[in-house]
Amino acid sequence: MNNHLNNYLAITIGNTRIKAVIFGSDRQIMEEYAFRHEQLTILEAELAERDFVHIAIASVVPELITIWHNLPQTQIIKTADVPLRGLYATMGCDRALAAYGAGEIYGYPVLVIDAGTAITLTGIDMNKALVGGAIVAGLRSQFLSLYQSTAALPDVHIPETLPNRWSMDTRSSIQGGIAHIFLSGLQAYIDNWRSQFPDAKVIITGGDGDHLVKWGLQVDIIDKNLIFWGLWHCHEFQSKSLSQ
């Protein structure tokens, strides 16, 4: 299909899901895909017959290999490829890319909260240098760990609206405890960041970001494509470096 030849395929492999987007030449996202790990063959079947000049893959699951991994036009993006300063060797490339994408799109300094399987916070200053961050088990992981690690506690789902702080039954107590403790803790990080960088944007991404914002977390922007913006800008940065 030659009409797809000039498009750019970006793939991210997270702890739970594989996501892919197809960029047009004008940095517009033309198509989006999201599947669980065990559904990789569905994504491959969807796109196997299409040709891409540029392919980028960022993965936190090295053992999961796609049909695109070993193509000559494919670049496997590592943390060291992200042009931010002060990144440490064991930092996940997903965190680095989301922070870089946020800064390039919305400006530096920036604080990124990625609410996925894990919740990460990553702060970047005006010089594109890492200030620091934090990692905690994500919302779904919190609920699941209580269910799997205890004999009597029920399997409870994330509530759509913020539950009462004080509850009168087990299910509501779990929902309220996790929701309020998470909300208070994350807001404390945000408030501390804003005290240091009052003009910085606070941006949330990841599958559970909507829940946190509905509960009242005070962020400036919701953008679920930060990691893909990071991949795009890595591609642009490296293209410019090669041409110089």
Same domain for 205 and 126 = yes
Mean pLDDT of successive 10-residue stretches along the chain, which has 244 residues: 66 93 86 95 93 93 95 94 96 96 97 95 98 94 90 90 94 94 96 97 94 95 96 76 52
Same domain for 220 and 130 = yes
Catalytic residues: 94
- For 189-202, letters b (16+ CB in 10 Å) and e give bbeebeeebeebbb
* Domain presence at residue 191: yes
* pLDDT score recorded for residue 1: 42
* Domain presence at residue 236: no
* Domain presence at residue 85: no
User: For position 109, which CATH number holds?
Assistant: 3.30.420.40
Same domain for 166 and 131 = yes
Same domain for 40 and 12 = yes
Our count of domains for the chain comes to: 2
